[in-house]
A = this chain, B = another copy of it.
Amino acid sequence: MSVTLKDVAALAGVSRSAVSRTFTEGASVSAKTRSKVEKAARELGYSPNALASSLTTGRTKLIGLISNNFHNPIFLEVFDQFTRALQERGLRPLIVNLTDETEPANSVRMLRQYSVDAAIVASSTLPPSFAKAFHDAGVPVVHTFGRSATSPEVHVVGIDNVECGRMAARELLARGYRRVGYLGGPEDATSALDRYRGFMEELADHPDIEVSHCFAGAYSFEAGRAEMLRLLANTPSEAYFCGDDILSVGALSALADHGLKPGQDIGIIGLNDMEMSRWESVNLTTIHQPIKQIITSSVDLVVEMLKEPQRYPEARIFPCRVIERGTLRPRP
């Protein structure tokens, strides 16, 4: 069926070692042998079996990519960036779709069976312990969009969610809103909790401001919409920090139902700055998260870990900034 080392060796009239060496970087082969082998390989359409070689080299170039954000459009960008960045470095993404699972055991076992060289946990909702499980099983891991910590147990690349909460609070204050609310993601998501904490901490210094908060059932359009509809049925705040752009878009849809104009009647500020937020029909004021840099950095870090598996855990935190669009009233 498929053509192997042995076939090429036979045709080229050399040993199997010679063939192996012409296909491995920096091995010792004479120009003559190399050309004989290359000719034979071309004739037979040979390409080395990466999996077989991984047996002896201990490297598969397979990278596990684990996520659970399949209902947030931001994931399109995340996923595009990740797969490209990995490919550019000669690595191969092996996907794990977590869906509703929150226990790492299955993913860990599976990725170990496939001998991935490293794993990337791409999720802002999973706790540090999730990524830690990979580390404990001997799989080098980077938690992208993970909870930032001063002394992380595993590599974390992302943003400071607490600081983002503060930033959102400051922004609402600066625009003169007096009754503000937090509409966060699911209550068990670390990012939702951290953003909540920052938001509340910042406002704790302003006892004159009325603060409310609630958590949506998911980071999704539907959840954001449902939650905002619920809020509008009672007495809503003047402005909301929605813990994610997709929640914001859902909330905007709820406002539209009630004939309310975002920015004028009720303020909304999101977080992420996904592509859709720039659409004219959405035009969402939001906190920009530097997705591209975060992902590039994550993949760079993975590459570093391949060279140095015991590398000391590190947190790479990127700054965010407010992007002014149309869903908050202007600063005075």
- Seen from chain A, the residues whose Cβ lies within 8 Å of a Cβ on chain B are 1-2, 47-52, 54-55, 60, 62, 65, 70-71, 73, 75-76, 79-80, 83-84, 87, 92-97, 99, 109-110, 112-115, 138, 221, 225, 249, 252-253, 256-257, 275-276, 279-281
Find out whether the CB atom of B54 lies under 8 angstroms from the CB atom of A51. Answer: yes
When C-beta atoms are compared, the residue in chain B nearest to A84 turns out to be B97
User: Could you say which residues of chain B place their CB within 8 Å of the CB of A99?
Assistant: 84
Find out whether the CB atom of B80 lies under 8 angstroms from the CB atom of A97. Answer: yes
Which residue of B2, B60, B97, B275 contacts A138 across the interface (Cβ within 8 Å)? B2
12 contacts across the A-B interface (CB closer than 8 A): A1-B138, A47-B109, A47-B113, A48-B113, A51-B54, A73-B76, A83-B97, A84-B99, A87-B96, A253-B281, A256-B280, A257-B280
How many Å lie between the Cα of A76 and that of B225 in the bound state?
Answer: 20
Find out whether the CB atom of A50 lies under 8 angstroms from the CB atom of B257. Answer: no
Query: Given known contacts A75-B76, A76-B70, A97-B84, is B49 in contact with A113 (CB within 8 Å)?
Result: yes
**Least Cβ–Cβ distance between A11 and chain B, in angstroms:** 19
How many Å lie between the Cα of A76 and that of B94 in the bound state?
Answer: 17
**Least Cβ–Cβ distance between A109 and chain B, in angstroms:** 6
How many Å lie between the Cα of A71 and that of B276 in the bound state?
Answer: 11
Find out whether the CB atom of A97 lies under 8 angstroms from the CB atom of B87. Answer: yes
User: Could you say which residues of chain B place their CB within 8 Å of the CB of A112?
Assistant: 2, 47
User: Could you say which residues of chain B place their CB within 8 Å of the CB of A280?
Assistant: 225, 253, 256-257
User: Could you say which residues of chain B place their CB within 8 Å of the CB of A84?
Assistant: 97, 99
User: Could you say which residues of chain B place their CB within 8 Å of the CB of A96?
Assistant: 83, 87
